[in-house]
Amino acid sequence: MIFNPVSGQGDAEADLAFIQSSLEAAFDLAVYQTSPDCDANVLAAQSVEHGVDLVIVSGGDGTVNAAAEALVNSSIPLAIIPRGTANAVASAIGIPTDLEEACRVAINGEAQGIDTALCNNSPMVLLAGIGLEAAVVERASRDTKNRLGVLAYATAGIRQLRKMESFEATIETDEKVLTVQACAVTIANMAPPTSILAQGPATVSAEDGSLDVTIVSPEGVGSALAASYELFRSALSDEAAQRDGIGFFRSKQVTVKTEPPQKVVLDGEMFGETPVTVTCRPQSLNLVLPQQEAPPESEDLTGLPDLTVESFD
Asked if residues 177 and 247 have their Cβ atoms less than 8 Å apart, the reply is no
**Reduced DSSP (H G I as helix, E B as strand, rest coil) percent helix, strand, coil of the chain, to 5:** 30, 30, 40
- β-bridge pairing 55-59 and 167-172: unpaired
pLDDT of the residue at 32: 97
Rounded (10°) angle between helices 99-108 and 12-23:
30
pLDDT of the residue at 306: 40
pTM assigned to the model: 0.80
Instruction: Out of 3.40.50.970, 3.10.580.10, 3.30.70.520, 2.60.200.40, select the CATH number for domain 123-283.
Output: 2.60.200.40
pLDDT of the residue at 239: 54
- β-bridge pairing 246-251 and 211-216: antiparallel
d(CA 128, CA 185): 8
Superfamily of domain 2-108: Probable inorganic polyphosphate/atp-NAD kinase; domain 1 (3.40.50.10330)
pLDDT of the residue at 166: 85
Residues of CATH 2.60.200.40 domain(s) within the chain?
123-283
d(CA 83, CA 87): 7
d(CA 292, CA 275): 40
Amino acid at 118: L
Residues of CATH 3.40.50.10330 domain(s) within the chain?
2-108
pLDDT of the residue at 304: 39
pLDDT of the residue at 216: 85
d(CA 82, CA 64): 8
Asked if residues 93 and 109 have their Cβ atoms less than 8 Å apart, the reply is no
**Average pLDDT per run of 10 along the chain, which is 313 residues long?**
92 96 96 96 96 97 94 96 91 94 97 96 94 72 44 43 75 93 92 77 85 79 48 51 70 97 91 96 96 58 39 33
